[in-house]
């Protein structure tokens, strides 16, 4: 009989089970909504990135369905061969206008937008100066670029400045931060980082995956929120979170976008979006402009829920956004809290190492514009009860 050369994976999985951090995938039985059915259980859903509820918005559905009828279900090719449809180009024009840049290019995901961009615009002789909590796609892109990676402690602008100052003036440098940090919900220190980039001639890049649709005028993101238009050379956004569909994009000047057309490997070597996805994203941009009350609801709900968790005595860290972590320390405790909440009718995912530091495991909550006050109060009551039972508060 053939020996199983993958047996070592079983051992690794068993170790996860012993540590109490093994996760089975939870399955959504219907639509991605604020009140959802997950694993056949009706729950208040605090785990999605569906900030504005656009995953099920009627205007997005209609545009996607019309695109299926008019244009089919797939693009049939990578962008650089035969997979650039007029609707892809239209979406990129709209995204550039949304971000107030010359041009934009859409990738298959936010992940590939980050990884494909960082890995292609930097090379082995260059340096990347990166916040320690930047998203995995930035870290992977940095590794693929073969540039030297210098990591500064989270949000420590002085440390970033110290690193940059110590580098030769002639060396090419990329200074990069998340706009909103996905596990802590705090904001990148954009104005101060832009000052460093201006002073030392760094390329300035922001990953606004969790900020687009959430911060800035009509959801334009942190560049707009902080008023640093024209000072950020590379803006990444995602179409998979507040926009409600799938994809990522880079917005910047024409040369950057042209260069990515020629060198970004996910753009060159992976098929473009089905037209229905581009159509849904176009409808989402219309909704951002015409329904500003969605963002208002999102922020009202955010303030209410964050204040409720804090009043109960939970450690919610340094969040400034609709992402509010409930930090408990041990990975096993985070998973226990998440499981007990689920049994009480609240879906809030536990997150442990390696996604966050070993002693900073948490349950991460994200409210949306479409949660009702009753749903949020129900969730707070469940947090209060379970938090007390587990001795967290
Ligand atoms: C900060 C950040 N950047 C990028 C991404 C990747 O975006 P996408 O889900 O569109 O691949 C995520 C999402 O997981 C994220 O949290």
By percentage, how much of the chain surpasses pLDDT 90? 97
- Concerning whether 212 is annotated as a catalytic residue, the answer is no
Residue 21 reports pLDDT greater than 90: no
Q: Which residue has the tokens 């051992």?
A: 11
238 alpha carbon – ligand 1 mean position (Å):
7
Ligand 1 atom nearest 238 alpha carbon: 10
By percentage, how much of the chain surpasses pLDDT 70? 100
- Concerning whether 33 is annotated as a catalytic residue, the answer is no
Return the bridge partners of 207, or none: 178, 236
Residue 354 reports pLDDT greater than 90: no
Which residue in the list 109, 182, 319, 338 is annotated as catalytic?
182
Edge to edge, the sheet with strand 350-351 lists 323-329, 361-366, 350-351
Residue 203's Cα: distance from chain center in Å?
A: 21
Q: Per-residue pLDDT tens for 201-210?
A: 999 999 999 9
User: Could you tell me the pLDDT band of residue 1, with boundaries at 50, 70 and 90?
Assistant: confident
* Residue of 22 and 38 predicted with greater confidence: 38
Q: Per-residue pLDDT tens for 252-263?
A: 999 999 999 999
Q: Is 364 in the pocket of ligand 1 (CB under 6 A)?
A: no
Average pLDDT, the chain: 97
Residue 257 CB partners (closer than 8 Å, separation 6+): 102, 103, 104, 105, 250
Angstrom distance (rounded) from CA 49 to CA 180: 13
Q: Is 114 in the pocket of ligand 1 (CB under 6 A)?
A: yes
Ligand 1 atom nearest 181 alpha carbon: 1
H-only helix segments in the chain: 7-19, 58-71, 86-99, 110-121, 136-145, 157-165, 190-200, 222-225, 254-263, 265-269, 275-290, 293-312, 331-343, 373-389
State the pLDDT at residue 23: 84
Q: Per-residue pLDDT tens for 191-241?
A: 999 999 999 999 999 999 999 999 999 999 999 999 999 999 999 999 999
Whether cis (ω within 30° of 0) applies to the bond prior to 354 is yes
- Concerning whether 241 is annotated as a catalytic residue, the answer is yes
Residue 161 reports pLDDT greater than 90: yes
Angstrom distance (rounded) from CA 348 to CA 386: 12
Angstrom distance (rounded) from CA 368 to CA 358: 28
State the pLDDT at residue 181: 98
Q: Per-residue pLDDT tens for 82-139?
A: 999 999 999 999 999 999 999 999 999 999 999 999 999 999 999 999 999 999 999 9
Ligand 1 pocket test, candidate residues 32, 238, 355, most atoms within 8 A of CB: 238
Return the closest-CA partner of residue 355 out of 331, 324, 383, 320.
331
Q: Per-residue pLDDT tens for 328-338?
A: 999 999 999 99
Edge to edge, the sheet with strand 127-131 lists 103-107, 248-252, 234-238, 203-207, 173-178, 127-131, 148-152
Q: Is 209 in the pocket of ligand 1 (CB under 6 A)?
A: yes
User: Could you tell me the pLDDT band of residue 6, with boundaries at 50, 70 and 90?
Assistant: very high
Which residue in the list 57, 154, 173, 241 is annotated as catalytic?
241
State the pLDDT at residue 204: 98
Return the bridge partners of 250, or none: 105, 236
Whether 171 contacts 124, CB under 8 Å: no
């Amino acid at each position: 009989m053939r020996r199983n050369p993958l047996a070592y994976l079983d051992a690794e999985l068993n170790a996860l089970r012993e540590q109490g951090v093994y996760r089975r995938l939870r399955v959504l039985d219907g639509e991605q909504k604020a009140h959802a059915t997950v694993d056949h259980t009706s729950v208040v859903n605090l785990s999605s990135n569906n900030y504005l509820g656009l995953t099920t918005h009627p205007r997005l559905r209609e545009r996607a369905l019309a695109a299926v009828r008019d244009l089919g279900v797939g693009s049939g090719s990578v962008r650089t061969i035969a997979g650039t449809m007029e609707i892809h180009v239209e979406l990129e024009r709209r995204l550039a206008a949304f971000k107030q840049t010359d041009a934009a290019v859409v990738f298959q995901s936010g992940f590939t937008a980050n990884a494909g961009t960082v890995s292609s615009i930097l090379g082995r002789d260059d340096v990347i100066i990166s916040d320690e909590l930047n998203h995995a796609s930035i870290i992977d892109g940095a590794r693929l670029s073969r540039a030297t990676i210098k990591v500064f402690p989270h949000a420590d602008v002085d440390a970033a400045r110290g690193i940059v100052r110590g580098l030769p003036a002639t060396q090419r440098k990329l200074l990069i931060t998340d706009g909103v940090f996905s596990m802590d919900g705090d904001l990148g220190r954009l104005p101060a980082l832009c000052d460093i980039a201006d002073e030392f001639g760094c390329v300035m890049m922001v990953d606004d995956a969790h900020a687009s649709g959430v911060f800035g005028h009509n959801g334009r993101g942190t560049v707009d929120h902080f008023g640093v238009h024209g000072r950020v050379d590379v803006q990444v956004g995602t179409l998979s979170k507040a926009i409600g569909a799938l994809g990522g994009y880079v917005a910047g000047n024409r040369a950057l976008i042209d260069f990515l057309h020629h060198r970004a490997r996910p753009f060159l070597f992976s098929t473009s979006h089905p037209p229905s996805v581009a159509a849904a994203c176009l409808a989402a941009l219309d909704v951002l402009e015409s329904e500003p009350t969605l963002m208002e609801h999102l922020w009202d709900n955010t303030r209410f829920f964050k204040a409720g968790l804090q009043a109960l005595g939970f450690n919610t860290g340094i969040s400034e956004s609709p992402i509010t972590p409930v930090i408990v320390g041990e990975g096993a405790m985070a998973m226990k809290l998440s499981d007990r909440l689920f049994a009480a009718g609240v879906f809030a995912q536990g997150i442990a190492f390696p996604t966050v530091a070993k002693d900073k495991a948490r349950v991460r909550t994200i409210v949306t514009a479409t949660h009702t006050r009753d749903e949020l109060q129900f969730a707070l009551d469940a947090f209060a009860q379970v938090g007390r039972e587990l001795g967290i508060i």
